[in-house]
Amino acid sequence: MMKNTGKSQSTVSRRKVIKNLALSIAGFFTPGILKAGEVLEKFQNWVLGENYKPAEHHWGMGIDINKCIGCGRCAAACKNENDVPREPFFFRTWVERYRIFEDGEVAIDSPNGAVDGFKNFPDSDKKIVRSFFVPKICNHCENPPCVQVCPVGATFKTPDGVILVDPGYCIGCRYCIQACPYGARFLDPETRTAEKCTFCYHRVVKGMTTACVEACPTQARIFGELDKKASPLVRFRRMNKINVLKPSLNTEPKVYYANFDMEVK
């Protein structure tokens, strides 16, 4: 009898015992993991709203340079909506004024990001050939360099194509600010974490449009779906000659400009 017991012990290898043990322990946790999944979904619904499914959307923006009058309402609305520090060093969106003179010289300015519009028109003896305003914003690149370089994954692309920053995770190394070719990011002076345009994600998930689009009096900005046929943005891209900023960098911006001048940087 003793011999038998010894034999049966040796047939169950140590590896098998450990494997079975691991499986049984895993079994204990399965309901917990399933529950965690449920909780996560509930949490997502709580954050995004019951009816918002990120994977069903793909957001972008269209900007018609010809329509922009440089009033800066968009930049001001953004600061209000998103509690962006008022000082002239922190912008999620801003408007640039371009003046191209007869001799080919280009003057660009954006006093206080055009939050107060362009009030004074600097005197110049030179004749202006072309002049226009260009609203700037995070391009929510399809191929975002900022997401690529973030050492901790604090900045990420949502399934609906928006680039966001998790301030709880951001360590403030500012590598993303260096990597952004468009100057769209800044370090929040209060939180010491990276900040940028969120496409007003908190509004978008509730079915609203972005603050800058809503504030624009001339509809120079269009926010919408990139892939849905009924979307005004799709129509915008069909009806206009389109360009993006710095296409050679292959960041594939999702902010599309109509009537884009070669001097726009």
Partner 1 sequence: MEEIIAHLTPILKEITGYIYPNEIELHWGLLVVIYPYLTGLVAGAFILASLVKVFNVKEVQPTYRMSLLTALAFLLIAPLPLLAHLGHPEKSFEIFLTPNTTSAMAMFGFVYAWYLMAVLLLEIWFDYRKDMIVWASESSGLRRWMYKLLSLFSSDLSDKALKFDKKAAKVLTIIGIPSAFLLHGYVGFIFGSIKANPWWSSVLMPIVFLFSAIVSGIALVLLIYMVVTPMRGNKIDMTCLNKIASFLFYAMIVDFSLEALDFIHRIYESEESIKILAQLVSGKLFVSLVIIQLLIGMLVPLIAIAVVKIMDAPAELRRLVYFVSALLVQVGIFSTRWNVVVGGQLFSKSFSGLTVYKMGFFGLEGLLVSIIIMVMPFVILYVLFKVLPPFENPAQS
Q: Which of 41, 109, 227, 252 binds partner 1 (CB under 8 A)?
A: 109
Least distance to partner 1, CB of residue 263, Å: 9
Closest CA to 92 of 103, 77, 104, 106: 77
CA distance 189 to 32: 40
140 binds partner 1 (CB under 8 A): no
> At closest approach, how far in Å is the CB of 35 from partner 1?
23
Is the Cβ–Cβ distance between 106 and 134 less than 8 Å? Answer: no
Among the candidate windows 12-20, 45-53, 84-92, 253-261, which touches partner 1 by CB under 8 A?
84-92
- Under DSSP, the state recorded for 257 is E
Query: Cα 155 from chain centroid?
Result: 9
Stretch that binds partner 1, among 6-14, 22-30, 88-96, 252-260 (CB under 8 A): 88-96
- Radius of gyration of the chain, Cα coordinates, nearest whole angstrom: 26
Sequence length of the chain is 265
Q: Does 101 bind partner 1 (CB under 8 A)?
A: no
Q: State which residue, 27 or 151, has the beta carbon closest to partner 1.
A: 151
Distance CA 63, CA 242 (A): 9
Q: Which of 89, 116, 202, 232 lies at the binding interface for partner 1 (CB under 8 A)?
A: 89
Looking only at residues 226 through 265 of this chain, which bind partner 1 when binding is defined by CB under 8 A?
249, 265
Distance CA 90, CA 13 (A): 65
Structure tokens at 178: 């260096």
Using CB under 8 A, which residues numbered 163 to 222 contact partner 1?
169-175, 177-187, 189-193
Residues that bind partner 1 (CB under 8 A): 85, 87-91, 94, 96, 106-110, 112-113, 136, 145, 147-153, 169-175, 177-187, 189-193, 249, 265
